A and B are shown apart, each in its own frame.
Chain A
Amino acid sequence: MKMLRFAALGVAATLALTACSSADTPSDDATTAGGDKTPEAAEITLWLAGGDTNKDLRQYLKDTFAAENPGSTLNIEEIAWPDLVTKLTTSLPDEANTPDVVEIGNTQSPTFTTVGAFRDLTPLYDELGGDKLLQSFVDVGAVDGKNYALPYYFGSRYMFYRKDIWTAAGLEVPKTLSEFSESVAKLKTDTQSGFAMGGQDWRNGISWVFANGGELATVDGTTWTSTLSDPNTIKGLEQWQKVYQDASNLPSTERDVAYWDFLNDGTDGTPPSAATIMAPGWARWSIGDITKNDAGEEVRDGMADDTKFDIFALPGTDGGIAPVFAGGSNIAVSAKSKHPELAENLLRIVFSKEYQTMLGGAGLGPGNSDYVSSLGDDKFAQTMIETAAASKLTPAAPGWAAIEGAFVYEELFQKIADGGDVAALAKEYDAKLTPMLNGGAAG
């Protein structure tokens, strides 16, 4: 039986080995040290969040950067939105692994700017656009009058709908929020959501809060208070609960859903899974009938058939436009970057007229207001500009990124979607959120 024990030990040893093999991949230190005065040729890394910055934009950045900085190259890495905060937390403080330039969600900016994660860009501020830059985004990236993160692009959300289905049901574009709720409720069947919305999708859901004059949190001096229990907020949350329950077939746990898939016809021309969705403007390019692009790949035609696909802005409670969540990103240079001059050169390209115009062409609101016209003047651009003008940022509280990282609002909205008592939940989550908003991670 000694043998058996040996077998057991062998097993244990194997395990110890497998356990060790999962260590982090070593960082390849492609960047070289130095470069204090004159930018030494090197490779710098840009982290882009999600896929919003499309292939053409990326290629332009790479090509232009290489051309303007002979010998240097730009390496672009895409980080998924849900991983961004944790990746930044671990990489930014580490000189050997930090990306040089990072895109960061506008509302995540304060968390990092307040701890000194980013390089002071104040000296460059005027050169990169100064007062022309979108001020609400500049504000969330500034601490004590110094600029650390600047607006990269802004976006907003509006409604995409199946005009054919709405028309067949005898429905027109709604004028008020309650009209919208009634219409989408009528369009719900067992296989089709009148309005496809995941239960955890608070980024779309807070539009109902804003539309009713509610807020997620307010600030008094520097102290943040969660205001879910505010009567207006509760009213908005209850309306959203009703819309979700009456019009959506999606599970209450869904978040970050690729809603545009729901609006397209299924394979073999089966009917779509939803009559209406809410999405950022660039979702347009994932909607429509299938066609072939120049390279012969199958792509969506971008809603070319306007009797079938159309858009409208979410209406307010008394008409007009409901304020939606102002999406968008800031861009910043890591304080630990070994090549800050090259990083700043990259920012010069990002804030150049050419690139800003290209952003607009891709449906992303350029950070510099001079170039907003590059969005065009079709209905997509107009709706985007209108909704963006009416949009609202989430609280720029120091603890905001931690709240997003802990999925607190996801949970709250799921509980509401599951039919929970809104007033009681609001009270419960106010108590949870207020300390977190004030950076109460460690308190």
Chain B
Amino acid sequence: MSHDAALGVPAHSGHAAPGGPPDEPPAPRRRRTPAAPYLLLVPALVALVAGLAYPVGKQIVMSVQKFGLEQQFGQAPTFVGLDNFVRVFTDDALWAVVARSIAFCLVNAFLTVVIGFAFALLMRAVATPVRLMLQVCLLLAWAMPMVAGVTVFKWLFDYRTGVVNWLLVQLGFDSFAGYSWLSQPFTFFLVATIIIVWMSVPFVALSMYAGLTAVPEEVLEASRIDGANGRQQFWHILMPMVRPVLSIVLLLQIIWDLRVFAQIRLLQDAGAPVSETNLLGNFIYELGMSRQDFGGAAAVSIFVLLLTVALSWPYVRSLMKEDA
């Protein structure tokens, strides 16, 4: 973490409490490494290997095989080397989907975090009853089953009977009578963004609020005495102190929004230009499940795995640095 040394607040962990004991590097001690921690790791490792290693391994194997419907029904797959990768990656369709997915993922992740953070600050600022009400509302939105949520949004944006069109027409925007939101990729993704942000904001807001409550009141009080205004407090005290939470929440949002699938699929079912609204998850599903090209789908999946690692690597590295 970089140091935000303004106002003299050291941001590095371990220096957190002003007036705490002076920071000393821990004296090197020699100890026998006990076996217990490693034993305790075993169940987690077993679960990981069983849950992840097999499917990922199978996927890697399938990505170098010709694996179609015949193979699904028992014929032996043939080894084709990198054919699947070459075929999939020389197809412009894939790159369009990749660009679309990354753009969609970044826009959604940042929007979600900004709005979520704003909610967290709001909760911090308002009186307890209002905060409780806000929290309950957020929890309800968070607890809403995804399919039910998307269905309601589909109804809201329905071209014939949707409330959104009706409201817009009542407000004088007559061109929205019968406007079909899902027909064009741009408005389709607008609706999808509203749904996804709506569904993810509660998680970010509640996590960030938890982070904010952990900021010691003394620090804020000290800064007030030193004459810091609200903006300065936010940028120089709150932000640096909640940064670990902020970065992990953002990281998770990016990973989630990159693999968004069901919301898009459900919206597509309501009628949409399918190939122009596919994101990576939908593209893989279509390639594998609908076109029965399991080998190609496995190849794209591996690419998505690498893409996720690449996108999240800066955050993971900064998190690991902090822990070091």
Please give the distance in Å from B207's CB to the nearest CB on chain A: 5
A20 to B182, CA, bound (A): 31
A89 to B244, CA, bound (A): 44
Contact with B along A250-292 (1 / 0, CB 8 A): 0111110000000000000000010000000000000000000
B117 at the interface (CB under 8 A from A): no
Report yes or no: A1 in contact with B244, Cβ–Cβ below 8 A. yes
Please give the distance in Å from A67's CB to the nearest CB on chain B: 34
A11 to B295, CA, bound (A): 35
Interface size class of chain A, counting residues whose CB lies under 8 Å from the partner chain = 35 or more
Report yes or no: B67 in contact with A93, Cβ–Cβ below 8 A. no
A115 to B252, CA, bound (A): 41
Please give the distance in Å from B213's CB to the nearest CB on chain A: 9
Report yes or no: A115 in contact with B159, Cβ–Cβ below 8 A. no
Which B residues, 56 to 98, have Cβ-Cβ distances below 8 Å to chain A? Answer: 66-70, 72-75
Stretch at the interface among B105-113, B132-140, B267-275: B267-275
Which of A5, A402, A411 sits near B274, CB closer than 8 Å?
A411
Interface size class of chain B, counting residues whose CB lies under 8 Å from the partner chain = 35 or more
A436 to B269, CA, bound (A): 22
Across the interface, which residues of A come within 8 angstroms of B295, CB to CB? 442
A11 to B75, CA, bound (A): 44
A27 to B70, CA, bound (A): 24
Closest residue of A by beta carbon distance from B262: A22
Please give the distance in Å from A224's CB to the nearest CB on chain B: 16
B309 at the interface (CB under 8 A from A): no
Closest residue of A by beta carbon distance from B245: A8
Closest residue of A by beta carbon distance from B292: A441
A374 to B228, CA, bound (A): 88
Across the interface, which residues of B come within 8 angstroms of A2, CB to CB? 13-14, 16
Contact with B along A185-199 (1 / 0, CB 8 A): 000000000000010
Closest residue of A by beta carbon distance from B256: A15
Report yes or no: A4 in contact with B245, Cβ–Cβ below 8 A. yes
Closest residue of A by beta carbon distance from B271: A253
B41 at the interface (CB under 8 A from A): no
With A93-B73, A406-B291, A442-B295: A254-B241 Cβ-Cβ less than 8 Å? no
Closest residue of A by beta carbon distance from B248: A8
Please give the distance in Å from B150's CB to the nearest CB on chain A: 15
A295 at the interface (CB under 8 A from B): no
Closest residue of A by beta carbon distance from B247: A8
Across the interface, which residues of B come within 8 angstroms of A200, CB to CB? 271
A319 at the interface (CB under 8 A from B): no
Across the interface, which residues of A come within 8 angstroms of B273, CB to CB? 253, 411, 414
Report yes or no: A1 in contact with B241, Cβ–Cβ below 8 A. yes
Which of A1, A85, A90, A401 sits near B13, CB closer than 8 Å?
A1
Closest residue of A by beta carbon distance from B322: A5
- Contacts A115-B72, A198-B271, A441-B291 aside, 11 further interface pairs with beta carbons under 8 A come to A7-B211, A8-B249, A11-B207, A11-B249, A115-B73, A116-B73, A117-B73, A251-B178, A251-B180, A401-B292, A402-B290
Seen from chain B, the residues whose Cβ lies within 8 Å of a Cβ on chain A are 13-14, 16, 51, 66-70, 72-75, 159-160, 178, 180, 182-183, 207, 210-211, 214, 241-242, 244-245, 247-249, 252, 269, 271-276, 286, 289-293, 295-296, 322-323
